[in-house]
Chains A and B, each alone.
Chain A
Amino acid sequence: MSIPIEDQSAHRPDERPATSAATFLNQVKRMWQGESGLGPILFGLLALIIYFEVRSSVFLSAGNITNLFIQSTIFILLGMAEIWVLLMGDIDLSVGFSAGIGGAVAVILTSTQHNWPFWIALPLGLVACTLVSAVWGVMVIRLRLPSFIVTLAGQIGLAGVLLYLINSQGNSGGSLPVQEKVLYYLVWGNLTPVATWIVIMVSVVLLSWTILRSDQRRRTAGLDEKPLWLAFAKVGLLVVAGVLLALIFNTNRSTFTTLNGMPFAIPIDLGVLAGGTYILTKTRAGRYIYAIGGNVEAARRAGINVNRYRLLAFTLSGFTTGIAGLLYVSRLNGISTGIEGGTYVLYAVAAAVIGGTSLFGGRGKMIHAVIGGLVVATIGNGMALINVSASGLYIVTALVLLAAVTVDSVARRGNSTNR
């Protein structure tokens, strides 16, 4: 009794690819076709970097690269916040102003007028954003409203709340400065060069250990489809990237004084990235969020409490938004009524989508926001360096977004039997 076989080669025991070169090409092809989803966009980012470096020699200076990382932080964090909801096929248009509110709460509470300690004020900013997103979540889930409309209303409403908050602080003139050290240092503080090395190397070692350990476990269990060199190649790349970053951050960026070390914002980004990735890939909650985005009915029939995990995703989105808000006020050294909350949302969604996250749910990774955020920031930073007008900046960003979606869509079409 055996099933008629469609594809004889499919289960031949000696199916291993003949040469390692073939394996390598196969891997490259798979990466390109979007299995990991990052091939095309990393290539695009590299092209942008080369272009800007050719046009402006300042672009790849240590100072500018550090600057670029700081500029990209807001896109990266808001993008990661957006990915939580995008994965379920929802969207949150309010994250820009929500972040503003979280930041404003922290700024106001730590101001000389109120003088709350940072360890209460900053978490309260996070709580504010988390609550906002939880409210959207409840409305979307309980009242079955489309998240697009709920959060569109939310965006408008929160813009109003933010105005009220800022104007409620007496004679603010439409902006409130950061008056507390820790909040200011979130972005502008730097690790010492030694601490930079330690943080980066500890991260590299931990990540490498995770990669090798999981590879080894698979191998022991007899599940060794991927070649061993791939794991070592990943580790090698990590070490090289880590050393490069450490060298860049530890280069003196100031002409008058000594300014070096990794900005605090970067470990914060990495921490959020690691936390989000862990939840999405290693826990049931993450698995269920993907399942809900892929086929909510299937998830329900598998016995998953769909509403609970949707609310969880909204909440995590809000928490990440809060972190973005704190870094936003820190970087601008204050919060003003002129915050472009609406634009930030669009860049956040763009960052997620450029990185490879689907707008229709079920597909995406936290790393997508990092790559996408870096692309968005690179365009902004590079265009400013080569003195392109704002009009050009918008148009190029739009083209990159369109190109990313197109590449993604085309790559995916070849990969699936039913769409």
Chain B
Amino acid sequence: MTSTPESPSSEMSETTSASSGDSGVRVVEAEHLLSLCGISKDFGPVQALRDVDLDVPVGQVTALIGDNGAGKTVLIKTISGIYPPSSGHIFWKGREIHPHTPRDSAELGIATVYQDLALCDNLDIVQNMYLGREETRFGQLDEIKMELATKELLKDLAVSTVKSVRQLVASLSGGQRQAIAVARAVMRDSELVIMDEPTAALGVSQTAQVLELVRQLASRGIAVILISHNLNDVFSVADRIAVLHLGYLVSQGPVSNYDRSSAVEMLTTGASSRVHPTPPLAG
């Protein structure tokens, strides 16, 4: 586990001041790559997110946990521009942004790896890595340049299990596919990679590979938001934890502030009787 640059106490005071700040507009500290302030999202009568404040620091893995229907997916879709928020502010490197399409957020450097991974089975690894932004040479695809860069990147990310970068994605295992989808986000110079349940369908060794890859991203200075149901994964890889419950962000802070039982309690009830890393948001 890498150490968190911030100390738990400063973290706590920061979050507390945010929740007690006036009308959700606050000074955003520059070291947070992404900050959400008072984000709400409703779909007609259904309130999926209520006044969510979340900070995502550079080079750290922020695990977003919550029960089904807690609003995890809506939250990441809000960040990635699929659902613009009903109210609230999103700050990217201290500057307010209004992503309205996935393209907007992608251009800022936010990459989202959904569960379906969005890979083309009929294309090989290199072709998938460069899909939509192929290198060309005299108007022709520059396969060699793309292949070399792909090899280099996979090596950097310690993805060592693929035999050839020219094999079709159809022939890859679930963990390898996940690795390719993540590597693609890295290749596009993303500064924030959002991963939706990356280990949900994987076995033990493949899960370990993907979690290792997540650590690799963080050590390259990339911020990661990781949605997971699996607390084992969360505690083994995350630097920070944010808990969503029924649309409220009930708690966030460094992973050292939590243990399994307090996390489970907060997931299910929205509060913990044993540990109070941060108070539940004041209403």
Contact = CB atoms under 8 A, between A and B. Distances in A.
Nearest to A296: B120
Nearest to A303: B132
A244 B147 CA distance: 37
B240 interface: no
Contacts of B216: 1
A218 interface: yes
B265 interface: no
Interface in A299-354: 299, 301-304
Contacts of A363: 122
Given A3-B208, A217-B144, A283 B139 contact: yes
Contacts of A299: 120, 131-132
Interface in A143-194: none
Given A287-B134, A304-B131, A419-B170, A1 B121 contact: no
A3, A5, A281, most chain B CB atoms within 10 A: A3
A338 B131 CA distance: 46
B133 A303 contact: yes
B121 A4 contact: no
Contacts, number: 117
A408 B122 CA distance: 15
Given A11-B160, A298-B131, A293 B122 contact: yes
A304 B170 CA distance: 21
Interface residues of A, number: 39
A14 interface: no
Given A298-B131, A303-B132, A10 B121 contact: no
Most buried by B among A11, A284, A298, A419: A298
A28 to B, nearest CB: 18
Nearest to B213: A3
Contacts of B12: none
A415 B122 CA distance: 11
A418 B118 contact: no
B121 A416 contact: yes
Given A3-B212, A221-B144, A418 B131 contact: no
Contacts of A297: 116, 118
Contact of A295 (B120, B144, B219): B120
A67 to B, nearest CB: 37
Contact of A294 (B103, B120, B147): B120
Contacts of A142: none
Contact of B209 (A4, A283, A287, A416): A4
Interface size class of B (residues with CB under 8 A): 35 or more
Interface in B209-257: 209, 212-213, 215-216, 219
A417 B158 CA distance: 23
A1 B148 contact: no
Interface string B109-145: 0000000111111110001000111101001110010
B141 A10 contact: no
Interface stretch (B56-64, B161-169, B268-276): B161-169
Interface string A259-297: 000000000000000000000011110010011011101
B212 A291 contact: no
Interface in A197-233: 217-218, 221-223, 225
A352 to B, nearest CB: 16
A418 B162 CA distance: 16
B161 A7 contact: yes
Contacts of B123: 287, 290-291, 294
A254 B282 CA distance: 98
Given A217-B144, A283-B141, A415-B170, A3 B133 contact: no
A2 B160 contact: yes
A225 B166 contact: yes
Contacts of B264: none
Given A3-B158, A4-B209, A283-B139, A302 B122 contact: no
A2 B158 contact: yes
Contacts of A281: 141
A1 B158 contact: yes
B267 to A, nearest CB: 29
14 contacts: A1-B212, A4-B208, A4-B212, A10-B162, A11-B163, A221-B144, A221-B148, A225-B164, A284-B141, A293-B122, A294-B120, A299-B132, A303-B132, A416-B121
For the complex of A and B, 5 pairs with smallest distance between CB atoms:
A302-B132, A294-B122, A362-B122, A294-B120, A298-B118
